[in-house]
Chains A and B, each alone.
Chain A
Amino acid sequence: MKYHSVFDIIGPIMVGPSSSHTAGAARISKIARGLFGKQPKKATITLYGSFAKTYQGHGTDVAIVGGLLDFDTNDRRIIDSKVIAKDMGIDIKFVISDEETDHPNTARIFLEDENDQFEIVGVSVGGGKVKITEINGFKIRFSGNSPFMLVIHEDRFGVIASIANVLGLYKINIGYMEVARKEKGSLALMVMETDQPVDNKVIQDIKNLPYVKRVAILKIS
């Protein structure tokens, strides 16, 4: 079953004109902003496929910038988001790619400031629903429609178990989980969708575990 809620069908409430090219695009970049955890100084956005070909007519560009500013899909400020970002001193660059991708509506978003860099690849699958396919070079797959947690940690034995253990103690069930690493012993990434909400206390407990570098939580509705 692909759709579970009546509001997947009657919704989202959004700035037009396209649920996939406008609302979906804004959701991908809002997820990126949420995981980056702060306002970026610079953003490089690469558009592929149908995004690359029709972005001007669909407002995909302003939708993505709107998401980076943490605007919701129904925030009218999306229309003026490029001007707003410029006034805030955010350097935004669009790259239009003719590279083939698995899905026609794909965007790569690279965010940076003095201290951090973060990259996400997302696809807009229709009706405003999105999937994230890559984070910092790690291939992953989750919808972003239910709350999810992202943990960046060192690739050591026992780390995954210790995180799962914390969730178990708080009676939080993991609905979906994916772990990835670039090479043995390097930095690893864990993505989890949970059935119950994860609050700040849980996050703090996970952050305090050895070898855990970063924990982020995001709910996109």
Chain B
Amino acid sequence: MKFNSIADLIELTVKEGKKISEIMIESEMETHNLSREEVIDGMRKSLYVMKDAIKTGLTEDIKSRSGLSGGDGKKLFQYLKSGKFLSGTTILEAVCKAVATSEVNAAMGIIVATPTAGSVGILPGAIFATADKLNSSENDMINALFTAGAIGLVIANNAFISGAAGGCQAEVGSATAMAAAAVVEMAGGTPEQSANALGIALKNMLGLTCDPVAGLVEVPCVKRNAMGAANAMIAADMALAGISSVIPADEVIDAMYKVGCALPISLKETAMGGLADTPTARKLEKEIFGKPLKL
């Protein structure tokens, strides 16, 4: 791989006069001995799966195996179409699509893990809402996925991307940072602005616990995907407005790693603490499994 840190990545974009997505595409071609077409086609497949999942989640009646989640994406979509809402259209669209994708995932539909299934809704939510707003081409969206992937690779190799390893800050946090950087590129921002967006986004996720009710990727995961998408859009807008992340992106990633290591095991996907240990969560757990989870 051609880069190990965000600083490396940005330096490469400046030196070679290329976008983050282009650096990622070339790195993938080199590392795995693939043609440009093979690499791009692989990503196009993922984009189509994302599109299908969004459509399913917004229009069909979704229900998960446990019954804990489903139907909120559709509900939010109806609300959005009513035109009477408090926040903006683009941000609510991103949230809507993030929830829809997350619900399809919980109901054993086909999705693309970005970077994991637990954080599946954030990147597609942000990218598809941004594409609607900017009238982006399919090519722009594919490139945005490469940009997100480049950011995710740096985070995965320097910290972690799963709730079990580093808490939800590692999972939803990584996805949010990836999405923020990706939509900045879609909007014509510079690689530095992408780095600032990822820094701003991830800073606001630090310390987030992974405490899924009954150990399932549903509560609070679906709603954290919603908030991740919203966070990504705001972080992108802040960066595009020229605001910097005072703490550089690589240092934020390092801080996320250290916070993750310091988080107790009860807050890392074990369903022993946080929301998973509330009376309602314990009651639901008993209803789903017929007995307490005993983790």
Residues of A within 8 A of B (CB): 1-20, 22-23, 50, 53-54, 56-59, 74, 76, 78-79, 104, 126-128
Contact = CB atoms under 8 A, between A and B. Distances in A.
B46 interface: yes
B7 interface: no
B294 A23 contact: no
A106 to B, nearest CB: 13
A23 B113 contact: yes
A23 B109 CA distance: 12
Contact of B118 (A15, A19, A50, A76): A19
B47 to A, nearest CB: 9
B157 A16 contact: no
Given A4-B31, A57-B216, A16 B46 contact: no
Given A10-B112, A53-B293, A126-B161, A16 B117 contact: yes
A18 B118 contact: yes
Given A3-B153, A127-B116, A16 B105 contact: yes
B149 interface: yes
A53 B294 contact: yes
B110 A56 contact: no
Interface residues of B, number: 61
Contact of B49 (A6, A13, A59, A79): A13
B162 A127 contact: yes
Nearest to A63: B108
A2 B108 CA distance: 27
A81 to B, nearest CB: 11
B24 interface: yes
B156 A16 contact: no
Nearest to A78: B108
A11 B48 CA distance: 13
A2 B149 contact: no
Given A10-B149, A17-B107, 8 more contacts: A1-B4, A3-B157, A4-B1, A12-B112, A13-B49, A22-B117, A50-B215, A74-B110
Nearest to A79: B108
Contacts of B289: 56-57
Nearest to A2: B157
Interface string B132-153: 0000000000000110111011
Contact of B156 (A3, A17, A23): A3
A8 B107 CA distance: 23
B216 to A, nearest CB: 4
Contacts of B216: 17, 54, 57-58
B115 A127 contact: yes
B204 interface: no
B217 A17 contact: yes
A10 to B, nearest CB: 5
Contact of B149 (A9, A20, A23, A104): A9
B12 interface: no
A167 to B, nearest CB: 19
A2 B4 CA distance: 11
Contact of B117 (A14, A50, A76, A78): A14
Given A6-B150, A104-B164, A11 B64 contact: no
B162 A20 contact: yes
Contacts of A20: 116, 162, 164
Contacts of A78: 108
B295 interface: yes
Nearest to B45: A13
A136 B104 CA distance: 38
A28 B58 CA distance: 33
Contact of B162 (A6, A59, A126): A126
B148 A16 contact: no
B281 interface: no
Contacts of B211: none
A1 B117 contact: no
A12 B110 CA distance: 10
Contacts of A19: 113, 116-118, 162
